[in-house]
């Protein structure tokens, strides 16, 4: 039986991959975590968890002893991701590892023209985010290791859905807060991969016949729209209002606006709204001890500074405040505006990748997990939703 070391096993993808490989039953799995706090999902399986610093060459050498395969799903700061990956690649080659699989990201392709169809072989764009630059450098390191004799595969997923998905939770939170807006009524494409499908793709990369170090796009191969996504997630909320819709031009203007810079005055305004708000006044009235402490602290503040705290005097222009527009989630607007579709044809051909879940199946998996972990739909939901 082959032994695979999974680095980053305590993360969202790493934990799912370890559980998948254990369920398959044809692998000896060596989960490698950075700290015990991230491995709570794996604890019930009763397997040994190895705490490893990927920048410590001696620790990596010890872990790779007797291993045949490696998956790198680790994350961290830029220097850790680059230095750690270099050590993993060098020591994997020295240990005679049969296959090295690296988890990349579509961010490595950079900013594409809206509406593009992205293919695995497409070159990176000139404009890259900081994270995208790091992932691109990692991919180049993997290709270099391939040239030196280490059989490598790199997989690039888009946003990841399914159980435990932080991205889906972010969308739900924006819906709950009223900060989600849909562009063109939700008609733009939303390319995703279920985390279980990603685990299948990673295992396929471990056993496929051909490994050439190239980055391969992997998705659910079932692109739907943002309207489909929001419709599925609204079913897990207490009938929230439908998100407002924006045109592409409106969304482009909003995302192009310069975000306000931090300033002492802005901090004073925030502090003033907290100290003079109705919730604070009620708390002071209900607790005499805290009220006296607040009065003492307030007396120690110079009057010149008090006058600078908005909320201690009437607003100069109340009408302007009332007419302020809702602040929409900028990141989710930017994601929609990309409107990128991802072609995973190469992954199908080279890896034999076949996703087990389509969009509807992925949403059902997320819903099942969400209900089980958040209590939605249970008798206690009315109390839980207040937390």
CA distance 207 to 265: 59
Q: Which residues of 124-135 are buried (b: 16+ CB within 10 A; e: fewer)?
A: beeebeeebebb
Q: Are residues 309 and 344 part of one domain?
A: no
User: How far, rounded to the nearest angstrom, does the alpha carbon of residue 72 sit from its chain's CA centroid?
Assistant: 17
Name the burial class of residue 23, with classes exposed (0-12), middle (13-18) and buried (19+) by CB atoms within 10 angstroms of its CB.
Answer: exposed
Q: Are residues 287 and 351 part of one domain?
A: no
Decide if 17 is inside a domain.
yes
Decide if 329 is inside a domain.
no
Q: Are residues 212 and 294 part of one domain?
A: no
Q: How far is CA 179 from CA 31, 189, 325, 331, 363, in A?
A: 38, 20, 11, 11, 22
End of a domain among 254, 278, 313?
A: 313
Decide if 369 is inside a domain.
no
**For residue 311, what pLDDT is reported?**
43
**For residue 240, what pLDDT is reported?**
77
Q: Are residues 263 and 212 part of one domain?
A: no
Decide if 231 is inside a domain.
no
Q: How far is CA 147 from CA 48, 56, 89, 141, 383, in A?
A: 34, 24, 12, 10, 58
Q: Are residues 280 and 157 part of one domain?
A: no
pTM of the predicted protein model: 0.81
Q: Are residues 283 and 200 part of one domain?
A: no
Decide if 375 is inside a domain.
no
Predicted confidence pLDDT, tens digits, the chain (387 residues): 899 999 999 999 999 999 999 999 999 999 999 877 667 888 888 899 999 999 999 999 999 999 999 999 999 999 889 999 999 999 999 999 999 999 999 999 998 888 889 999 999 998 898 999 999 999 999 999 999 999 999 999 999 999 999 999 999 999 999 999 999 999 999 999 999 999 999 999 999 999 999 999 999 998 899 999 999 999 888 777 889 999 999 999 999 876 555 555 555 554 555 555 544 554 555 555 555 555 555 555 555 444 444 444 444 333 333 233 458 999 999 999 999 999 999 999 999 999 999 999 999 999 999 998 876 555 554 554 555
Decide if 241 is inside a domain.
no
Tokens of 297: 């602290």
Q: Are residues 257 and 346 part of one domain?
A: no
Enumerate the H helices of 235-329 as residue ranges: 248-256, 264-275, 278-286, 288-299, 303-306, 318-322
Q: Are residues 277 and 153 part of one domain?
A: no
Three-state secondary structure call for residue 70: strand
Nearest to 180 by CA among 140, 231, 132: 231
Decide if 331 is inside a domain.
no
| Number of domains present in the structure of the chain | 2
In sequence order, what are the residues at sequence separation of 6 or more whose Cβ sits closer than 8 angstroms to the Cβ of residue 95? 61, 64, 65, 67
* CATH number of the domain enclosing 88: 3.40.50.720
Helix-helix angle 288-299:278-286, to 10 degrees? 120
Q: Pairing mode, if any, of strands 224-225 and 189-190?
A: antiparallel
% helix, strand, coil for the chain, step of 5: 50, 15, 40
- Greatest Cα-to-Cα distance within the chain, rounded to the nearest angstrom: 76
DSSP sequence for 316-342: S-HHHHHTPPP---HHHHHHHHH--EE
**For residue 320, what pLDDT is reported?**
33
Three-state secondary structure call for residue 132: helix
Q: Are residues 92 and 16 part of one domain?
A: yes
Q: Are residues 81 and 38 part of one domain?
A: yes
Decide if 181 is inside a domain.
no
Domain enclosing residue 81, as ranges: 2-162+192-219+339-364
**For residue 80, what pLDDT is reported?**
87
Q: Are residues 253 and 156 part of one domain?
A: no
Q: Are residues 207 and 116 part of one domain?
A: yes
């Amino acid at each position: 039986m082959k032994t695979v070391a999974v680095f980053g096993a305590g993360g969202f993808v790493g934990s799912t991959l370890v559980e998948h490989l254990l369920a398959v039953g044809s692998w000896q799995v060596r989960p490698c975590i950075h700290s015990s706090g991230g491995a709570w999902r794996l604890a019930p399986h009763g397997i040994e968890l190895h705490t490893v610093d990927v920048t410590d060459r001696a620790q990596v050498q010890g872990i790779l002893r007797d291993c045949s395969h490696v998956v790198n799903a680790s994350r961290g700061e830029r220097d850790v991701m680059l230095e750690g990956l270099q050590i993993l690649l060098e020591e994997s080659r020295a240990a005679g590892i049969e296959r090295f699989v690296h988890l990349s990201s579509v961010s490595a392709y950079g900013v594409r023209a809206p509406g593009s169809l992205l293919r695995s072989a497409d070159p990176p764009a000139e404009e890259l985010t900081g994270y995208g630059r790091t992932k691109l450098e990692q991919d180049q390191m993997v290709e270099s290791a391939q040239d030196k004799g280490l059989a490598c595969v790199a997989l690039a997923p888009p946003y990841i859905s399914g159980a435990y998905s932080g991205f889906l939770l972010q969308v739900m939170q924006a819906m709950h807060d009223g900060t989600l807006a849909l562009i063109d009524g939700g008609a733009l494409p939303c390319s995703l991969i279920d985390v279980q499908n990603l685990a299948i793709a990673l295992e396929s990369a471990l056993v496929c016949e051909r490994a050439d170090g190239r980055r391969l796009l992997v998705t659910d191969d079932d692109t739907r729209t943002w309207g489909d996504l929001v419709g599925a997630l609204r079913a897990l909320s207490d009938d929230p209002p439908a998100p407002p819709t924006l045109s592409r031009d409106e969304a482009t203007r909003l995302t192009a606006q310069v975000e306000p810079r931090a300033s002492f005055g802005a901090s004073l305004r925030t502090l003033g709204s907290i100290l003079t708000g109705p919730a604070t006044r009620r708390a002071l009235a209900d607790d005499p001890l805290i009220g006296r402490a607040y009065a003492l602290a307030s007396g120690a503040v110079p009057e010149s500074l008090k006058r600078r705290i908005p909320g201690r005097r009437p607003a100069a222009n109340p009408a302007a405040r009332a007419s302020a527009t809702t602040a929409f989630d900028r990141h989710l607007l930017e994601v929609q505006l990309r409107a990128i579709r991802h072609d995973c044809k190469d992954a199908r051909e080279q890896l034999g990748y076949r996703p087990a879940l389509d969009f509807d199946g992925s949403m059902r998996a997320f819903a099942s997990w969400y209900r089980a972990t958040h209590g939605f739909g249970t008798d206690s939901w009315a109390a839980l939703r207040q937390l």
